[in-house]
Copies of this chain bind each other. A is one copy, B any other.
Amino acid sequence: MKSKPKGVRRHVTIREVAKAAGASVSTISAALNNSDYVSADMRSRIEVAIKTLKYCPNDLARGLRLQKTHSLAIVVPDLSNNFYIELVRGVKDYSASASYTVLIGDSRESWEEERNYLDSFHRRRVDGVVRVPAMNAVGGRARAVLGNLPVVYADRHPRERDTYVGRVGVDNTQAAESATSYLLSLGHRDIGIITGDASSGTSRDRLRGFISAIRSAKIRLDRSAIQAGHNDMESGHFHAMQLLTRGQRPTAIFCTNNMMALGALAAIQEIGLACPEEISLLGFDDFYWATLLRPRLTVVRQPAREIGMIAARILIDHIEGRVSIPTPALLKTQLVVRDSCCPPKKM
């Protein structure tokens, strides 16, 4: 009655390996973490036992004992946005090189979902998380669900007062300012901007850069030319429509993220305006198929992959006790000029 395996075969443990190899449990463990003394003979016996039994280490037990899982988590707001895929891959690649494993969360810009992910990762006892907070995470206290897990923020700012271990992104103000200057230099005087939600520091920075560029060009700032979207295609479309159908149509639109640029492009095509001849369009974030669009999109490119890699580095360094002070890392952006901007038509 005790030897009934009851249908479902369980996993083979280190103990059975020990039996098969004629060794003790502790010796197997020593062999696995190839440290300590273990004779060549014993080692090979253990190896064949592992092979024949198809032993697979249990990371739950390991993590429990070690109080450390050698794993990170990353939560991004939108996996269908290629920018975040690249960022995730950066995190993943750096982590792999430091033999950390990474868990991915896709919050879809929802704080509810993000909280679920953060909680789940915390319960799994990841060693740290890189976080790109969801847009609507304003009221949420991420700290409450994260305990004292080390966090590094990537791309977006921490919204709440939160303690973090690092922060990495681009100089959004400067990037937006120089992008706007580019439009100004083409001769545009009436420029619309579609920003992300004002609750986001990143959006605010980009807007600030825009305004600053307009101001230093001594142009009157038209408040109604500032539209606050939600970083998705729909709102890009909607707000572009707003801009394009009002009395005085702008000659250029600056979108502060790629999804909204796509939505704006859709709106432009829908209305039947010629881009860039009748309306210039400038996006934020590059993506691999931007050159497939007609016109090929002019954008300011962020080093997504690099942001991810640096975030992972900061996090892992901290976890392993190599750095103590918070390091805000500001990376360079790059204006990628393609076909979607040109001088405005003379009227």
Contact = CB atoms under 8 A, between A and B. Distances in A.
A69 B63 CA distance: 14
A92 interface: yes
A96 B108 CA distance: 14
A123 B61 contact: no
Residue from A61, A145, A289 having most chain B Cβ neighbours under 10 A:
A289
Interface string A5-36: 00001110000000000000000000000000
A233 B9 contact: no
A59 B125 contact: yes
Contacts of A69: 60
Contact of A147 (B11, B123, B266): B11
Nearest to A144: B54
Given A79-B85, A147-B11, A101 B120 contact: yes
A22 to B, nearest CB: 23
A158 B142 CA distance: 41
Interface residues of A, number: 49
Contacts of A266: 291-292
Nearest to A105: B104
B54 A147 contact: yes
A303 B125 CA distance: 35
A56 B118 CA distance: 11
A82 interface: yes
A73 to B, nearest CB: 10
10 contacts: A11-B147, A56-B123, A59-B120, A59-B125, A80-B85, A233-B288, A262-B289, A265-B292, A292-B293, A293-B294
The 5 closest A-B pairs by CB, nearest first: A59-B123, A294-B294, A60-B64, A104-B104, A60-B63
